[in-house]
Chain A
Amino acid sequence: MAEFKHKHIIALRDLSKEDIELLISTAENMREINCRDIKKVPTLRGKTIINLFYEASTRTRTSFEIAGKRLSADTVNIAPSNSSATKGETLADTALNLLAMKPDIIVMRHAVSGAHYFLANKLNCSIINAGDGAHEHPSQGLLDMLTMKDRFGRLDGLKVAIVGDITHSRVARSNIQGLTKMGSSVFLAGPPTMVPPGVEKLGDVTVCATMNEALQDADVVMMLRIQQERQGKTLMPNAREYSRYFGLNPTNIKLAKPNAMVMHPGPINRGVEMSSSMVDGDQSWILKQVENGVAVRMAMLYHVCGGELE
């Protein structure tokens, strides 16, 4: 088996195709554990994982916590927004204090892009990025790719449409970085106010003028969450108009390949970026994404610890 040489997982941009393949294949193996009656293996026994979440999260934090526990690590959750951060402690000081308690891995979500690189330069434990600003969300990118691989058996040659607020989306960036490395073609659509400059230079990426253009013959349709707080500001008029041009519905999904996968990183604004019938319909892989999230995060924790699979 190939060797995983990275101490940290901060961005899919930093990983090679082989790294990504390894993480996905390990996740595939981990899934078996999650189906057992007793869902626990001793792989990371004695390891301590701190889940440091500066931004609110239900799915990702729970998923990382379960992933750690299934591997028998001791996991601790901290949400600094209601502890020391409000007392003016810097990120570096908080992290150094946590480091003094000798964790093996810090899983962090932070609002500032690049905050994990800053910490990685200061700390000697492994850092896993659970989302940084608008930069990357590598575990989401990996679980999305695992889910696509479940459906198609491959990533190479897939046409993936990503629709929504690309500019502010770390999910979009991680998927673009990962998918283009794996040989997929990415087609982006969103209001021009939400498509960042030069994004097509990130790889095999095409910026489409309309959502229909992106959906045409797509194997995968990934819808992004539209942030409620962006409504009625300068980026778009309101949810109603957004939905009219960038919402997925039973009509426009027909442009994609028959039985194309519909994905969403959650949490979903039903009736805005996609209609409820799409969320709950046959083509939806959304809950499979969540399920795969645990296995992918087990694989990430496992590899940064450099352990051996039993």
Chain B
Amino acid sequence: MNMLIKNGRVIDPSQKIDGMLDVLVENGLIKEIGKGLSAPAGVETIDASGKYVVPGLIDMHVHLRDPGLEYKEDIISGTKAAVAGGFTSVCCMPNTKPVIDNKTVASYIINKAKAEGFCNVFPVGSITYGLSGDRMSEMGELKESGCVAVSDDGKPVGNSEMMMRSLQYAAGIGIMVISHAEELELVGEGVMNEGFTSTELGLKGIPRVAEDVATSRETLLAEYVGAPIHIAHVSTKGSVRIIREAKVRGVKVTCETAPHYFTLTDDAVRGYNTNAKMNPPLREAADVAAIKEGLKDGTIDAIATDHAPHHQDEKDVEFNVAMNGIIGLETSLPLSLKLVQDGVLTLNQLVEAMSLNPSNILGLNRGTLKVGSVADITLIDPEFEWVVEVDRLASKSKNSPWLGQRLKGVAAATIVDGKLVYKR
């Protein structure tokens, strides 16, 4: 599949490129980047005037719900939502049914994604069998089956020795451990952030320190055994500070946050809005500021959505009963672009956080437009304004706090392995 992407603003942090350039794609690879390239005979030209041309976006934290929970999402609908949001690769978490703790499930996902999906799907295996927290998964086989990391996402590995040994073992295998950092005793029956809003709404709070304590433990364990660790969905100012300090000490820690944590506060819960219920919960203005600061100074490496589809019947219920999580694949790009509009990040930093860094953290060999690399490319229209509408969302589930809201910026086209898989 060959194409020439002309007249776009190409931003590729891996080569420190930011300029009006053309990109030639041949046989699924980047063939050439330069000014005034002309299309060889028979090669389609894509006009990217007014668009950003960036290495394909990578969402290192999604829930595709397949196998087992296909009524929420499946690999087809999830990857369709991904490419509509500009993502060329997603990493799917293992809390499926059955859990991704063996070769069979990992292979099923990879094969189904290749056959019927719209983008690259990299499964994340579980740290412990069945997410039980007490028996290590066969991480070696998981890696050989195509898993790019291990995580018990959805819950922490409560046992500190289990976590420490997993970090050691995974480092030997050469697979990243992604931690869901949360101290469950402190979470208790909490359903939202603990603060003034929880006091007024009479909802049981989850204190920020529940995350901070766990983030602290993870960085100390990683430091002690000298192994890398990645902290998922950072939501508190405390976690940002702990990770910043750990990085200064030389701990091999990386982390991600999600667009809702730098866009919304727990005020969004008012009215008992179950589409503002997720875990970790939305925090307060000081946390939002700290998350932005962490992205700006590089403490936070990546933006990932934690795309968590849930059926309407699981959200259209009393607040305490509602499932945790929101969809994010189709809203991540405009919400993240707002950080650039607001002067928090440079465009280059944004592309790093949404493409190059996730690739480097997980060793995906993507996130670049270097000649010879896989042609995963996203075209972004930064000015296009649109309203988030239920009927237009590709995801099977519609649990978004931004329904009905106007957002700015959109994926104009998504190219995976040199193939145009989405065009708005």
Contacts and interface: CB of A to CB of B under 8 A. Distances in A.
Interface of A: 13, 90-92, 110-115, 117-118, 132-136, 167, 170, 173, 196-199, 201-202
Contacts of B321: 91, 112
A205 to B, nearest CB: 11
Given A134-B203, A196-B199, A197-B198, 18 more contacts: A111-B320, A113-B201, A113-B272, A113-B320, A114-B272, A117-B271, A133-B203, A134-B204, A135-B203, A136-B202, A170-B202, A173-B202, A196-B205, A197-B194, A197-B196, A198-B196, A198-B199, A199-B199
Interface residues of B, number: 19
Q: Which of A117, A118, A202 has the most CB of B within 10 A?
A: A118
A268 B19 CA distance: 74
Contact of A13 (B200, B316, B320): B200
18 contacts: A91-B321, A112-B321, A113-B203, A113-B319, A113-B320, A115-B318, A117-B272, A133-B202, A134-B202, A134-B204, A135-B201, A136-B202, A167-B199, A196-B205, A197-B196, A197-B198, A201-B196, A202-B199
B195 interface: yes
A171 to B, nearest CB: 11
Given A134-B204, A197-B205, A114 B199 contact: no
Given A113-B201, A118-B272, A173-B202, A92 B194 contact: no
Contacts of B316: 92
Contacts of A197: 194-196, 198-199, 205
B364 interface: no
Q: Which of A13, A91, A133 has the most CB of B within 10 A?
A: A133
Nearest to A132: B202
Contact of A118 (B194, B201, B318): B318
Given A92-B317, A112-B318, A113-B319, A196 B203 contact: no
Contacts of A199: 199
B203 A198 contact: no
8 shortest interchain CB distances as A-B pairs? A198-B196, A135-B202, A114-B272, A196-B199, A134-B202, A113-B202, A112-B318, A112-B320
A170 B201 CA distance: 10
Contacts of B272: 113-114, 117-118
B105 to A, nearest CB: 30
Contacts of B196: 197-198, 201
A273 to B, nearest CB: 20
Interface of B: 194-196, 198-205, 271-272, 316-321
Q: Which of B195, B198, B199 has the most CB of A within 10 A?
A: B199
A92 B202 CA distance: 21
A55 to B, nearest CB: 13
Nearest to A111: B320
Nearest to B202: A135
Contacts of A113: 201-203, 272, 319-320
Given A196-B198, A198-B195, A114 B203 contact: yes
Contacts of B198: 196-197
A179 to B, nearest CB: 15
Contacts of A118: 272, 317-319
B243 to A, nearest CB: 25
Contacts of B200: 13, 173, 198, 202
A110 B321 CA distance: 12
B44 to A, nearest CB: 50
A115 B272 CA distance: 8
A81 to B, nearest CB: 15
Contacts of A111: 320
Contact of B318 (A110, A136, A201): A110
A211 to B, nearest CB: 20
A161 B348 CA distance: 57
B112 to A, nearest CB: 32
A228 to B, nearest CB: 18
Contacts of A196: 198-199, 205
Nearest to B193: A197
A64 B203 CA distance: 25
Contacts of A91: 317-318, 321
Contacts of A167: 199
A119 B77 CA distance: 32
Contacts of A202: 199-200
B38 to A, nearest CB: 59
Nearest to B320: A112
Contacts of A13: 200
A113 B203 CA distance: 6
Contacts of B319: 112-115, 118
Nearest to A134: B202
A117 B271 CA distance: 7
B266 to A, nearest CB: 11
Given A197-B196, A198-B195, A114 B201 contact: yes
A134 B317 CA distance: 18
